Structures are given as structure tokens and as C-alpha cells.
Amino acid sequence: MPGGLLLGDEAPNFEANTTIGRIRFHDFLGDSWGILFSHPRDFTPVCTTELGRAAKLAPEFAKRNVKLIALSVDSVEDHLAWSKDINAYNGDEPTEKLPFPIIDDKNRDLAILLGMLDPAERDEKNMPVTARVVFVFGPDKKLKLSILYPATTGRNFDEILRVVKSLQLTAEKRVATPVDWKVKVSTGQVPSQPGRPKGCPPSGGLQGLCELGLCLWRRRPLGGPFHFQSL
């Protein structure tokens, strides 16, 4: 399908109608990190659970200077009405207000520009709907992460939060986070891991880094093996 973004690409500075009014994307992001995520249709069960979880996690994203913004091929009016269902699903007052805006892309202009359409899933007019796409942008407006799920599969927003923590850490420090890496939400500390990961140096200052899951890798010239390198 036409359109799409690659890692390192700058976010297009589009204008769009949303549930909080008309926005220009770069102005909306400001100096924050940003997550733009699309869903297939309003008033559908899986999408309701997804945006409900995103709303629940919104304070955690806000703590990390991350702005959320959703998108689908539905109208602002539909978004506002559906927001009541999302809040009710979360056990909150069924109002039209969510902790993030939703973009009206009923003409599919942005979905085409950003490569978000799922050709296998279509609406009542046989038009393709948006897939479950996640774009994470850094404060420099460049794409740091992209995830593309088909319309039939719901996402894990706790995993998206985990990935954002990793992106922010690795943007600040020359480190790489290993499999299943997590930060304790309550303290902000990296939990120690039992034993040493395979390949960790047997002793020295790097052992502590490995136990924290903060190993930095350095490749030898000419494609040689990876080696640990101190910070």
C-alpha cells in the first residue's frame, strides 16, 4: 500500500480534526515524545478494550512526557459518542472526554499517507479500514518505533509502555535492554535479575551492569563478535 514511515523518518506535520479541535501534529507534540496509534472502527469490542487500556495507562505515559493520540476512519462525532462507552468500560463516568484526542480520518488521507490501512478488513462500503498501527516519535519528531497489527488482533498497551521506557533509557545512555526488560513502576529502579545473563563477564564492573540488564555491546571491526564495553 502507498505511504508509510521508516525508522528515523520525521513525522509529517499534518493538520487534522480531532476530539479536541483542529491540530497541527508538530505543535501538538511540542517537545514531548508522542504515540500515534490507529484502530479499525469505533464502537467495536476489541477497539473499546484497547482504548480503555490506553486511557488507564495515560497517567503513566504522561509521567514519561509522552503524549497519546488515536486515529480511525470515523468522524469526530462518532469518536465523542464512543468515548462514553470507553469510559463506561473502564468503570468511569461515561463522558465524552478521554485523556487523549482521537483523529477524524474519515477520508483516509492520513491512513494512506502513513500506510495504516488493512486491505483485508473493510467497512460496509467495502473500503479498507485502519489496521492497529503504533508509531512512537521522539522529541525530535523522528520515528523511533513502529508496530503494525492486523485489525483482527488487539495490542498490549502495557508492552507499548515498556518499550517507551526502553526507548527513553537508550536515548539517554549507551545501553541496550535485554529480553523482557522492565523498570519497576513504583520506584523507577531497574530490577536485578537472578544470576548473570549468558555471555556476561565473570567479574568486574560490568557484572553489575549485566545484572541490571544494562549491557552495552560493541562490535569488533570487520564483522567480528560482540563484546561488552564499559560505560
Side chain identity, residue 23: I
Catalytic residue among 47, 74, 105, 215: 47
27 catalytic per annotation: no
Kindly give, in sequence order, each residue whose CB lies less than 8 Å from that of residue 164, ignoring residues fewer than 6 positions away: 33, 35, 61, 64, 66, 136
| Residue 103: HSE in the Cβ half-sphere, 13 Å Cα cutoff | 26
Nearest residue to 3 (alpha-carbon basis) of 31, 35, 38: 38
> For this structure, is 140 an active site residue?
yes
Task: Give the separation between CA 50 and CA 93, rounded to whole angstroms.
Answer: 18
**Alpha-carbon distances, residue 12 vs 24, 136, 159 (angstroms):** 10, 13, 25
> Residue 145 has what DSSP assignment?
E
Catalytic residue, from 78, 92, 140, 200: name it: 140
State the catalytic residues.
Answer: 47, 140
